[in-house]
Amino acid sequence: MLISRRLLLAVAAGTLTTTAFAQAWPQKPIRLVVPFPPGGGTDTIAREISHQVTQATGWVFVIDNKPGAGGNIGVDNVAKSAPDGHSLVVGQTSNLAINPTLYAKLPYDPTKDLAPVTLLASAPMLLVTGTGTPYKSMADAIKDAKARPSSVNFASAGNGTVAHLAGELLQKAARVKFQHVPYRGAAAASTDVIGNRVELYMSSVPTLLGHIRSEKLRPLAITSSKRSEDLPDVPTLAELGYKDINVDTWFGLLAPAGTPKDIVDKLNAEFNKALQNPQLRKKLNNEGAEPFGSTPEKFAALIKEEIPRWGLVVKESGARID
């Protein structure tokens, strides 16, 4: 198991208290960087949660999509921004826990250059195919991959993403070899899978659920330990015999290191409050995400624990970006 549900729940347990508030902040709109293109799971979660915070506080958020380098460009942009609470980023497993090992030189240190605010949500991965392929099940895809080694294309939103590494784990467990096709974001990859230009695609549930409901994509398996309530007919990889693959991606809010504690605490309180809103929780659940909330300290501890855990997966996969 790469990330324990118990670990996420433990992070979420220490929540919602703050006593000191910044008095003169915010003084202008808050730039919320999403380090991926519009239309992906990170983008969806950032927009839904920030909208709820705006409704409760009147704060204005400007979503700034800065994709590239597996999320590194957007995260680095915020890490190097003024620590005044007006630049934030929604980071996630790939750019905070995977990339420190995947990239030979990372332009930021996730444990030193950023101030964690709160864990926002988590979501499992889905393996899907286009409705124009002959694959009706995971067994069909595996059978074809064994018959045509390195010929079945497997798309992800980029090298070293959670989806890419989950796919590497699946190939190892199934003893097959896909041809990995990394894209510059989830939306572009979804388009090509829907158009049957690539056979398989792994991404988060929030990214894919709408396409599945509209019958543009066919789900083959989910990476969580149990079936999704939104997709009760989709088997888990464990049910299909791949018991060691249990993967979630998590999303969290961060500010530049050095951001005053009273601002971090105020952000933490308002975002955690938003995450308890029944309407927002229902929206996130409907998108396939599980809302959380945590203290800054618990989120920081999660990042530190996840870096070595994913580092082992990166090394075993042989993935490396120079």
pLDDT in tens, 239-281: 999 988 888 899 999 999 999 999 999 999 999 999 999 999 9
Is the alpha carbon torsion for 49, 189, 250, 319 positive or negative? negative
pLDDT reading at 9 higher than 70: no
Q: Which residue has the higher pLDDT, 5 or 245?
A: 245
- What the block records as the tokens of 312 is 């082992």
pLDDT range class, residue 296, cuts 50, 70, 90:
very high
- Which residues partner with 87 through β-bridges? 31
The structure tokens listed for 118 are 């709160």
Confidence at residue 186, expressed as pLDDT on a 0 to 100 scale: 82
Q: Work out the percent of the chain whose per-residue pLDDT is above 90.
A: 70
pLDDT tens track for 111-161: 999 999 999 999 999 999 999 999 999 999 999 999 999 999 999 988 878
Q: What is the pLDDT of residue 118?
A: 98
pLDDT (tens digit, 9 = 90+) per residue, 88-102?
Answer: 999 999 999 999 999
Provide CATH code, domain 5-123+248-317: 3.40.190.150
HEC per residue, the chain: CCCCHHHHHHHHHCCCCCCCCCCCCCCCCEEEEECCCCCCHHHHHHHHHHHHHHHHHCCCEEEEECCCHHHHHHHHHHHCCCCCCCEEEEEEHHHHHHHHHHECCCCCCCCCCEEEEEEEEEEEEEEEEECCCCCCCHHHHHHHHHHCCCCCEEEECCCCCHHHHHHHHHHHHHCCCCEEEECCCHHHHHHHHHCCCCCEEEEEHHHHHHHHHCCCEEEEEECCCCCCCCCCCCCECCCCCCCCCCCEEEEEEEEECCCCHHHHHHHHHHHHHHHCCHHHHHHHHHCCCEECCCCHHHHHHHHHHHHHHHHHHHHHHCCCEC
Q: Name the one residue in this structure whose structure tokens are 């991404």.
A: 203
Are the C-beta atoms of residues 183 and 192 closer than 8 Å to each other?
yes
Averaged pLDDT for residues 36-48: 91
Phi, psi torsion values for 207, nearest 5 degrees:
-70, -35
Is residue 44 scored above 60 in pLDDT?
A: yes
pLDDT score, position 5: 61
| Res. 106 pLDDT band, cuts 50 70 90 | very high
Ranges in the chain annotated CATH 3.40.190.10: 124-222
pLDDT for the residue 1? 46
Question: What is the reported pLDDT for 3?
Answer: 54
- pLDDT reported for residue 158: 81
Mean pLDDT of 282-311: 94
Chain region(s) in the chain for CATH 3.40.190.150: 5-123+248-317
Task: State the chain's mean pLDDT as an integer.
Answer: 90
Using one digit for the tens of pLDDT, what is the confidence trace for 45-72? 999 999 999 999 999 999 999 998 889 9
How far is 137 from 64, CA to CA, in rounded Å? 38
Residue 190 contacts by C-beta under 8 Å, 6 or more apart in sequence? 39, 201, 203, 207, 208, 211, 217
Is a pLDDT exceeding 70 seen at residue 35? Answer: yes
Q: Which of these ranges, 221-230, 254-263, 288-297, has the smallest mean pLDDT?
A: 221-230
Residue 6 has pLDDT above 60, yes or no: no
Q: Give the model's confidence band at 18: pLDDT under 50 very low, under 70 low, under 90 confident, else very high.
A: very low
Give the span between the Cα atoms of 118 and 19, in whole angstroms.
16
Note if the pTM is more than 0.85. Answer: no
Dihedral Cα 302, 161, 242, 245, nearest 10 deg: 0
**What's the average model confidence in pLDDT over 150-174?**
90
Q: Residue 183 pLDDT more than 60?
A: yes
Q: Which amino acid would we find at residue 120?
A: L
The CATH number of the domain covering residues in 124-222: 3.40.190.10
